[in-house]
Amino acid sequence: NARLSPQVGSHRDISLESLSLFRLLEPQIEILVLGTGDRVERLHPTMLKQMRECGIAVEVQDTANACATFNFLMNERRVVAAGLIPP
């Protein structure tokens, strides 16, 4: 059972469970842009690998750059979603 509105307050709260919503979207997204606040934070490599195995590339950036990347990818008509933690 996946929670559809995970509570993520910081990059430490990002887990495969909290990302499960993005795996359920239709059409399936190609790229998930994660904004981790004021700075880029490392996420667990296993979690990123599992997302790639589901066919979703994950781009981790600080939130300001994540917003810009999301907008760029949308303009390119890519199937993209964003998870953004406020700076």
pLDDT tens-place string over residues 28-65? 999 999 999 999 999 889 989 999 999 999 999 999 99
Of 70, 87, 84, give the one whose Cα is nearest residue 30: 70
Confirm whether 62 is domain-assigned.
yes
Write out the H or E segment, with its range, that includes residue 81.
strand 80-85
Q: Between these two residues, 14 and 57, which has the higher pLDDT value?
A: 57
Q: What are phi and psi of 58, to 5 degrees?
A: -120, 125
The boundaries of the domain holding residue 48 are 11-84
Confirm whether 6 is domain-assigned.
no
Count of domains for the chain:
1
**What is the value of pTM for the model shown?**
0.84
Confirm whether 5 is domain-assigned.
no
Confirm whether 64 is domain-assigned.
yes
Query: In angstroms, how far is CA 30 from the centroid of its own chain?
Result: 11
Confirm whether 4 is domain-assigned.
no
Task: Tell me: pLDDT of 79 over 90.
Answer: yes
